[in-house]
Structure 1
Amino acid sequence: MKYTIVIQWSDEDECFVVSLPEWGEFCHTHGETYEKAFKNAQEVLEMLIESSLADGETLPEPKTLEKSLEVA
């Protein structure tokens, strides 16, 4: 699946904070380095997908650049 991963530096937290927008506004992880933040995001996404499928839930539709431009 191709889900959005947003990685931004946080001065307040002194680390990279990751948002996973398709999964809700409170779905975040972090990492001390950009690479660690990305790895953590991949792991969280895998867990979210596995958990949703195990619970019989519908996965959120991945956002694409084309769909994002249509909204703008």
Structure 2
Amino acid sequence: MKVLTGPMMSQEQRGTLCELAGLYGLLPAIACRLDWLTVDVLYRLAGWDLCPDALSDVSIAEAYGIPVKDFPN
């Protein structure tokens, strides 16, 4: 499963995250409870490092050895 995380501190940011995830066939990290053992790769949007939830997503992925990649702009 491919997951997308990023800034999600406002309703607009959450909407953008979900919209981009849908356009690219990814699962937005806020869509459901993730079973991190089934995640193949975590993509992160610009500004992810300013959002505590996205920082947590990246930390969990790194702890599980899941590849983390920047989403192309």
Tell me whether the two structures share a fold, i.e. TM-score over 0.5. Answer: no
Q: TM-score, normalised by structure 2?
A: 0.38
Q: Which has the higher contact order (CA 8 A, sep 6+)?
A: 2
Q: Which has the larger radius of gyration?
A: 1
